[in-house]
Amino acid sequence: MTLIQRIAHSEKYFVWIGIYAALGLLSTEFSLAPVVAFYVLYGTAFLDILYKRSVNESLDFMIAQLISWEVIGRMSNSSPWLPWETGKYALFILLVFGLTFKRGKSSVIGSLIILLSIPSIFLIEGDRIFKDLIFNYLGIVLVGLSIMYFYQRQYTYQDFKRICRVMMYPIISILAFITIKTPEFEQLQFELGANFRTTGGFGSNQVSTILGLGMLILGMFQVKRDNLFGNRGIDLILLAYIAFRALISLSRGGVFGAFGALGLAFLFFGISNKLDTLAYGKEVRNQKVISLFKLGMIGIGLFIVVNVFTDNILYLRYTGETEGTLAGVKEKDVNTITTGRLDVLISDIQIWSDNLVFGAGVGNSKKIRGEENLAVNAHVEFSRLLSEHGIFGALINVILLTYPFIIVNHKRFRYNKFIATSFLILALFTSLHSAMRTIATPMLYGLALIFVVPNEEEEQNSVLKPVEKEET
């Protein structure tokens, strides 16, 4: 059993919480700490897979942790040992390797997305070809590969819990990192913008995305009246602290994404029907509603506390106010509320109208915007696909926005619909405010395709066995 498997299967939750928290603390002073931990963890697991020449659960556990390791490496300035795009490089390698040995079907949809994205590669210009490919193009390729890999993969409920627990551990490292790096609260000054000082001096948008993922995972199990770390009280404390850190960052993406995903998923599929009750065990509907209500009350309470702490800045930030709108020199509109993202989106659409068929080419939208004094990368993946991939990008957008309905509709049990909806909403929302800067969207989009098998089937189903029921 590899180290990452031992971590996933261990019931000594507090020990591993402590170890991952210690890693976060060490990373604030020693940039090589996460480097050593990453290569030991991933190196031993990958060598084991190579030796056995087969995909085992280690691969899934490695994929699950990658999103947080990517951000840990960036926060601790561990480049070049952990390159800035470690997550994309590693996820690409793991998915390709997994597909090589995968048993069962792979989704045609994933292959189609990749094929549609290829033409714009030939339009790349300038001396940053490799960087443009990695930063702007590899993300959508990873979405396609992730769909192909996770399509029809089935897990027992305990398998699913292990994957979620493995995802949570490095989030705890990030939590410890930003806690130590944040100055004394008395020294903090809050303004109407994201606060980098409360996210360890690193990009608050990316940290907020990771914290939002942590809130969603813990919230999903709280709604089901289950826990990840052996005690619902511990899970609630951890959830509350993650939410607190996300709120004081004043970066709204992760918070909106987590609460929106959990709320909408519960609204449509949170209450089990008779089929789910027979398959997954007895659940009391009123208790699940009460659990969600408690989470809502905790969220509202935290918002009030943090708002008081920030002298009402939190409320103003979440209602879209800026220094300019408060001073009366700017009008509050969609562009100010989205911190300039609307301007970039409109620019992308204009670029698409000028390059309708093939688009401007991978990475070229920023260069074109630079000629208009708006030299920024796209924050909305859907508009980037239009501007840089043209009509082919439009087709990819149609797939990305319609395939989720097919995924959810083909799920037999409401609990699987709940999981799929939660992950899909967070994946798509993240791509709306952070494009593909992290691997959150590819990973979560893929995980939405998994199938958690009913209790009575757990004995004869393994994590590697494909589901034959669903068709694309």
In this predicted structure, the answer to whether residue 26 has a pLDDT above a threshold of 90 is yes
Q: What is the pLDDT of residue 367?
A: 85
Other CB atoms within 10 Å distance of the CB of residue 35: 20
Please, are residues 210 and 251 in contact by the beta-carbon 8 Å criterion? no
Confidence of residue 471 (pLDDT cuts 50, 70, 90): very low
Please, are residues 197 and 182 in contact by the beta-carbon 8 Å criterion? yes
Q: Shortest CA distance to 132 belongs to which of 145, 143, 122?
A: 122
| Percentage of the chain exceeding pLDDT 90 | 62
The tens digit of pLDDT for each residue in 426-454 reads: 999 999 988 898 999 999 999 999 999 87
Burial of 405 (0-12, 13-18, 19+ CB in 10 A): exposed
Q: What is the pLDDT of residue 272?
A: 57
For 106-112, what is the mean pLDDT? 90
For 420-424, what is the mean pLDDT? 94
Q: What is the pLDDT of residue 118?
A: 96
Angle at 176 between CA 300 and CA 61, to 5 degrees: 95
Q: What is the pLDDT of residue 465?
A: 42
Q: How far apart are CA 158 and CA 154, in angstroms?
A: 11
The tens digit of pLDDT for each residue in 288-343 reads: 778 888 899 999 999 999 999 999 999 999 998 888 888 888 888 888 888 888 88
CB within 8 Å of 39: residues ≥ 6 apart: none
Q: What is the pLDDT of residue 271?
A: 62
In this predicted structure, the answer to whether residue 166 has a pLDDT above a threshold of 80 is yes
Burial of 270 (0-12, 13-18, 19+ CB in 10 A): buried
Q: How far apart are CA 445 and CA 67, in angstroms?
A: 13
At 458, list the tokens.
Answer: 């757990």
Confidence of residue 279 (pLDDT cuts 50, 70, 90): low
